[in-house]
Structure 1
C-alpha cells in the first residue's frame, strides 16, 4: 500500500506492507489524515515513533472500518475517526478499537480527520490535567495552532474565559473570532499578558523562553501544563515563586501513553466533547486540504507557522 514516511528529512510516498491486524484492533481504510507538528518533528529526525509503532507518519485519521472483530462495538462500513501513535498517513491503518470514535455529529470525513489529535490533546491538558472550570482564567500559548484553536473553542463552549499569545495581529483576530477574550503578539513580548492575568491554567507548547513569565503570570494554586519545547528546553527559574503560589508544573505527552490511558481519554472525549460538536459549538478548523502527492507542500506550509487551525491530507 502507499504510505508517507520520512526519507532524507522529507515526507515521501513509499510502498509498505499492509499492516497486520492484532486482537482487539480494527482496520480502517483511511480517507483523510491530519497534519500535526509532531509529524514535522518526526520527519526532521527529532521525534521517533515509540517502540513497536509504525514509522509511517500520521497521528490521527478518519475513514471506513473494513475489518473488525465479530461481536465488537464496530462493524464493517462504520465511518470513524481515530487517535494513533503512528501510521495514519497510509491507505490503511490498524488501531486499538478503543481509540476509535464515530465521526463527530455533522462532520465530514475530511473535517473529522482534523479532530482526534488536537481535541484529545486540548481536553487532556486543559481540562483533565489542568482542571480548568468555569470561573478560571486560561492562557493558551500558540493560540492559533490546531491544539490552540481546539482549546479556545472548548473554553468558550464551557463558559471559561481564555486569552492567547500568537505570532501576528491576523492570528490574534482569528483567536478572538473563535472565542478568546484577547491576547498578545509574541513579537511585542508576552509581558503584556500580566495585565490580563493572573491565570489559573496555562497551556504551554513553548517551554523555556516563556517559563519565567509563566511563573509570574500564574495565580495562586495555578496549573502550568507544558506540552512542548518550541522555545527551548533549559531555563533558570525562581522556585520560590513556584512554592509561594503553590503552582503545579505538569509535563504532559500523549503519543507515548499506554493503550489503556488512551482508551479512557477517548471515552472521556466521546462523553464530554462529542455533544459539543452535536450542539454546533465546535468546529475542527480544517481550513486547508492537500492531496497525498502534495504532502511536502503541506509540511512546508505547517512549518511556516502561518497556519490557522489544522491542515488535512486527503487520500
Structure 2
C-alpha cells in the first residue's frame, strides 16, 4: 500500500508499506479520505512522535470501508465508517480500534466523514467534559476558523452555547459570524480581552478553549467570569505562562486541559459511545457537518501541510486516497 511518512528532514515522503493485519478489537479500513490536523504538522517536524504502538504513518482520522477485522470486531466488516486513530490515516489502508469507529450516514460524504473525528472528539472532551459547558454559557475559542474552531461553533449552535471566537483577519471574522459565532474578534487589530467584556456586558465568559498558551493564558483568565473554566488544548505560543494564583482563588477559576492522542483506547471508546448517543443523531439528520477548506490527493500531502501552515484555511484540509 502507499503511505505517507515524515522524511526526517521536515518534509513528507510517499512510501510503499505492507498492509497491516488487524488484531483483536481492530478493523482494517480501506481508506477513502484522511483529515489533516496540526499534530500531523508537528509530527512531520519531529516535534510530536507517535505514541508507543502507533505506526510511523501520519494521520489521526479517516473514513472508508472496513475490509477485514480481528476477533470481536467482525460485525463491522463491509460497513463504511469514520474513525479516530493514533496514527496511520495517510495511507491506502489503516487499522482502527473498533471502539472509535462511527458509521458514516448517507448525508455525509467520505471527505466530510474523514474530517470529523479528530475535531469532534477534541471539542466534545474539552468543551463538554472538561469545560462542563451547559446551555446558555458564553465560550471563547481561539482560532475560530480552524478545524477546532469551526467544530466548536457548530456544536455550540446545536447545544445552545454563545460562541465568541478570535481570528487573524476581518475576512475570517466575517466567515466565523456566517458559521454561527455570536462575535468574532480580529486579534491583530483588537484587544480580545476588552472585546469579550464588551460583548458579554462585562460579565465575562464561562469557558475558554485555548490552543495558544504562553502569554495568552493570563489574558484568557481575565476574560473569565467567576467560576470560569480555562481549558488548554495546545501551546502554539509556548508551554509556560505566569498567572496570579490569588485571582484564581478569589474568582474560583478552574485551569484544566487535555491531550487526546496518547489516551488509552478504552477512554476514546467511551468518548465515541457518548458522541454516538448525543451528537451522531445530529450528523445523521444533516445538522452537523465539518467545514471543508480544500481537498488534496494523498500524493500531495506536502502541499496540504503547506496550506495548513500558511494559516489561510477555513475549516478542515483533507487528503483523498486513490486505489
State the TM-score, normalized to the length of structure 2: 0.94
Superposed counterparts of 1:52-91, under 5 Å: 52-69=53-70, 72=73, 74-91=75-92
Q: Does 1:287 align with 2:293?
A: yes
Which segments of 5 or more consecutive residues in structure 2 lack a partner in the other structure?
none
Q: Does 1:278 align with 2:284?
A: yes
Match of 1:5? 5
After superposition, the CA RMSD in angstroms is 1.3
Which segments of 5 or more consecutive residues in structure 1 lack a partner in the other structure?
none
Query: 1:115-136: CA deviations, max 9, x gaps?
Result: 0001111111111111111121
Aligned counterparts of 1:196 and 1:55: Cα–Cα separation in 2: 45
State the 1:96 CA deviation.
1.2
Aligned counterparts of 2:271 and 2:77: Cα–Cα separation in 1: 24
Match of 1:190? 192
- What's the secondary structure of 1:202's corresponding residue? strand
- Aligned partners of 1:207 and 1:233 also within 8 Å: yes
State the 1:251 CA deviation.
1.9
Match of 1:37? 38
State the TM-score, normalized to the length of structure 1: 0.97
Superposed counterparts of 1:182-221, under 5 Å: 182-188=183-189, 189-191=191-193, 192-197=195-200, 198-221=204-227
Aligned counterparts of 2:260 and 2:221: Cα–Cα separation in 1: 24
Aligned counterparts of 1:71 and 1:294: Cα–Cα separation in 2: 36
Query: 1:226-277: CA deviations, max 9, x gaps?
Result: 0000111122111111111111111210001011000000111111111112
Structure 1 residues 263-272 or 276-285, which shifts more?
A: 276-285
- Aligned partners of 1:209 and 1:231 also within 8 Å: yes
Superposed counterparts of 1:8-157, under 5 Å: 8-69=9-70, 72=73, 74-104=75-105, 106-157=107-158
